[in-house]
Structure formats: C-alpha cells, structure tokens
C-alpha cells in the first residue's frame, strides 16, 4: 500500500469514527445524562460546580478510563454524610453508566473493524464515549443550576415587592 493510500485510509477511519461517536453522543444527550444532572442539582445535594467541572476536565485530559472511575470511587468513598457523590446513589449510577458505555464502544469497534489497526482501539473509543457522556452531564448540570439561580432571584424579587407594598 502506498503512503498516499495509507493516509487516505487513515482519514476515512477518523471521519467514520467521528460520525459513530457523534451518533452515540446525540443518544446520550437525550437520556440518562439529564436525570443524573437533575439529581446533582437538587437542593439537598452538596456537590458544587467545581466538582462537576473537575470531573469533566479530568475526562478530557486523561488517557485512562480507570482514572475517571478511580476519581469517582474515591469521592464516593469519602462522602460519609451521603450528601455528595453518594446522594441518591448518583456516583454509583454514574460509574455503572460509564462502564455500560463499553458495549457501545464494542459495537463501534465492530462496525469499524476493517479500519481498526490496533488492539487498543476499542478502549480509546470507550474513553471518547465517556468524555461525551460526561460533557452532557456537565452541560445539563450547568443549565439546571442556572434555572435554579434564576428561580431563586425571581422569588427574592417577588418577596421584596410584596414586602414593599405592605409597608
């Protein structure tokens, strides 16, 4: 195979992979990611924005899925009051969800088997899917937080107006 043919094959592989990942990512945007984000945004849950962003950043910078799951396990284990990553079993649910993405990664690797050149391909697809999943959780979480803040400020304004009219 000439160098040019190899390069073309590599480009085709990347484009097809991006397409498959995008399809899965769109699926994730509509399901479990939103439920997890809603639980994270509940008043009683004491997880702050920094932790959710921290998890998303970790996923985007690491090359290891195990680093993400270790991060979660350590946070779940440290939450003795059950108000952070143990709240309503969010951490455990997230761990299971990330693990389940392995099935999708297998499926993508199978679809692209003619292009997959090395044994590590499936693992890297899995990592990419984890990044997409956590990106949606983080985005929904920010959105829910903003809604909450908006509602609270609206309530404060209404209360202040009501107090003013009584005076």
Site residues, another protein (CB under 8 A): 62-67, 69-71, 73-74, 76-79, 86, 92, 120, 123
Closer CB to another protein, 51 or 69, in the complex: 69
Quote the least distance from Cβ 70 to another protein, whole Å: 4
CB 37 within 8 A of CB 144: yes
Closer CB to another protein, 78 or 156, in the complex: 78
Closer CB to another protein, 37 or 105, in the complex: 105
Closer CB to another protein, 66 or 159, in the complex: 66
Quote the least distance from Cβ 17 to another protein, whole Å: 16
CA-wise closest residue to 39 among 6, 2, 3, 86: 86
CB 144 within 8 A of CB 41: yes
Quote the least distance from Cβ 76 to another protein, whole Å: 5
First to last CA, the chain: 86
Quote the least distance from Cβ 92 to another protein, whole Å: 8
Task: For residues 23 and 129, give the distance between their C-alpha atoms in angstroms, rounded to a whole number.
Answer: 11
CB atoms within 10 A of CB 24: 19
Quote the least distance from Cβ 137 to another protein, whole Å: 20
Residue labelled with tokens 């903003």: 146
Closer CB to another protein, 88 or 123, in the complex: 123
Q: How many CA atoms lie within 13 A of 90 on its CB side?
A: 26
CB 51 within 8 A of CB 87: no
């Amino acid at each position: 195979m000439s160098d040019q043919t190899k390069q073309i094959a590599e480009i085709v592989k990347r484009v097809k992979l991006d397409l498959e990942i995008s399809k899965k990512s769109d699926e994730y945007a509509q399901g479990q990611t939103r439920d997890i984000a809603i639980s994270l945004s509940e008043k009683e849950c004491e997880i702050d924005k920094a932790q959710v962003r921290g998890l998303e950043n970790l996923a985007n910078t690491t090359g290891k899925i195990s680093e993400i799951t270790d991060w979660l396990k350590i946070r779940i284990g440290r939450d003795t009051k059950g108000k952070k990553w143990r709240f309503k079993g969010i951490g455990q649910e997230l761990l299971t969800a990330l693990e389940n993405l392995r099935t999708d990664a297998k499926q993508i690797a199978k679809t692209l088997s003619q292009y997959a050149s090395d044994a590590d391909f499936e693992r890297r697809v899995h990592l990419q899917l984890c990044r997409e999943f956590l990106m949606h959780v983080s985005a929904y979480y920010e959105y829910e937080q903003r809604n909450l803040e908006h509602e609270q400020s609206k309530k404060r304004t209404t209360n202040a107006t009501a107090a003013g009219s009584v005076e």
